Amino acid sequence: MKKSLTIFVTATNTDIGKTYISVELIKRLSSKYKVAGFKPIETGVTDKAPDTLKLYESSNISTLNIDDCIAYKYTLPAAPYIASKDIEIEYIKNKLEHLKSISDIVVVEGAGGLMVPIKKDLFYIDLINILGIDHTLLVTPSSLGCINDTMLSINLLKSKGISFDWCVNKRDEDFEKITKSFFDDYFKKYFVYPDNFDELVEKLKHLNC
């Protein structure tokens, strides 16, 4: 049986566009594969978890229910470690394994950035390795200051030996003027949403071959 592919979507910080990009990935990959979305932990919610709901509604698996798509949710809008000290990683792993058993691809959305704490000595970048994630997508902003944030996150992913691509979520019209030329000169390849996002999707499809 072919192994289910897991893609972890992270970002340089909060409110960069992880959920939006995750939903776009799910929708486009769903044309060929059974795809589920998974948000291990969502904070700042009361009853319904809005990010999880978007992932669930984008998924194309008929047997899926919204509870399959989330492990923990908390009211306090803070890092998981602050919101609760009772997070069990094994429970998150079990949730993911269930999704993998019914999916060709699982898109896992993180929270905030790579160094957001889940436990005192465990961060989201550690969770990527603990869950055995196949490939990571780093979403970066297009605003002034994004070069520094992008470089820090990329270097951290490299230092942990994590397989990844990265994508600029282009929401700032000044991107071409204040940032793009450096990225073009420094990197052999990177992706920009929406400019060449379809090319990224095709690359991810080939990871599932």
Q: Per the annotation, does 20 bind a ligand?
A: yes
Q: Per the annotation, does 112 bind a ligand?
A: yes
> 97: number of CA atoms within 13 Å, CB side?
8
Q: Per the annotation, does 16 bind a ligand?
A: yes
Cα separation values, 141 from 38, 63, 81, Å: 22, 35, 25
C-beta contacts of 149-158 below 8 A and 24+ residues apart: 149/12, 149/13, 150/12, 150/183, 152/12, 153/10, 153/11, 153/12, 153/113, 153/114, 156/114, 156/115, 156/125, 157/114, 157/125
Q: Per the annotation, does 67 bind a ligand?
A: no
Here the tokens at position 185 are 């000169």
Q: Per the annotation, does 15 bind a ligand?
A: yes
Here the tokens at position 154 are 């990329």
Q: Per the annotation, does 134 bind a ligand?
A: no
Rounded to a whole number, what is the largest CA-CA distance in the chain? 48
Q: Per the annotation, does 110 bind a ligand?
A: yes
Identified catalytic residue from 27, 32, 34, 39: 39
Q: Per the annotation, does 51 bind a ligand?
A: yes
Q: Per the annotation, does 19 bind a ligand?
A: yes
Q: Is 39 a known active-site residue?
A: yes
Identity (one letter) of the amino acid at 33?
Y
Binding residues: 15-20, 43, 51, 109-112
Binding residues for ATP: 15-20, 51, 109-112
- As annotated, the active-site residues are 39
Binding residues for substrate: 43
Binding residues for Mg(2+): 19, 51, 109
